[in-house]
C-alpha cells in the first residue's frame, strides 16, 4: 500500500509529496491500521545539537514502526551523522529513533523500529 501526502515545506519554498509504503512480511496493513501524521519537531544529533524539521510519516496504530520524511534545512549537518541512528522529537508525540535511508540538503527519508531478521550471531567455540 502506498499513501501520498502533500506537505508545505518550511519557509514556503515548495510543496513536497511524501510517498510512504508500509508492509509487513505476513500481510499488508489495512488502511484502518495506518495513521498518517504531519507536523513539526526536532532532530537530535549525536552531539546534542537539535535541528527544527517538519515531518510527514506513516505509522502503524499498534507498535512503534514508522517511516516517512523530515523536511527542512539539512545543509549544515555533516553527512556522516546520517550513518548513525538519530533521535527525533515530534512536538505532539513521543520521541523515537530513526535510521536515515536517503538525504539531501532540504529533506531526508527514514525508517524506525528496524528489526533485523535472521539468526542471532553466536561466537564460535575456541579450542
21-68 pLDDT, tens digit per residue, is 443 344 455 655 788 889 999 999 999 999 999 999 988 776 668 889
54 and 7 in contact (C-beta within 8 Å)? yes
**What is the reported pTM?**
0.65
105-116 pLDDT, tens digit per residue, is 999 999 987 554
Parallel, antiparallel or unpaired: strands 34-44 and 86-90: antiparallel
Task: Give me the phi and psi of 110, to 5 degrees please.
Answer: -145, 165
Question: What CA–CA distance (Å, rounded) separates 17 from 19?
Answer: 6
* Grid cell in block for residue 83: 550513518
Mean per-residue pLDDT for 5-28? 44
Question: How many other C-beta atoms lie within 10 A of the C-beta of residue 32?
Answer: 7
Amino acid at each position: 500500500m502506498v499513501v501520498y501526502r502533500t506537505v508545505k515545506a518550511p519557509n514556503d519554498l515548495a510543496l513536497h509529496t511524501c510517498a510512504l509504503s508500509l508492509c509487513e512480511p505476513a500481510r499488508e496493513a489495512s488502511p484502518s491500521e495506518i495513521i498518517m501524521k504531519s507536523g513539526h519537531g526536532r532532530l537530535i544529533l549525536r552531539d546534542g545539537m537539535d535541528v527544527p524539521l517538519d515531518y510527514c510519516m506513516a505509522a502503524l496504530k499498534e507498535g512503534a514502526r514508522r517511516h516517512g520524511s523530515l523536511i527542512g534545512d539539512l545543509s549544515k549537518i555533516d553527512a556522516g551523522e546520517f550513518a548513525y541512528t538519530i533521535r527525533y522529537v515530534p512536538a505532539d508525540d513521543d520521541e523515537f529513533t530513526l535510521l536515515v535511508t536517503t538525504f539531501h540538503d532540504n529533506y531526508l527519508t527514514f525508517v524506525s523500529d528496524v528489526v533485523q531478521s535472521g539468526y542471532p550471531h553466536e561466537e564460535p567455540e575456541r579450542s
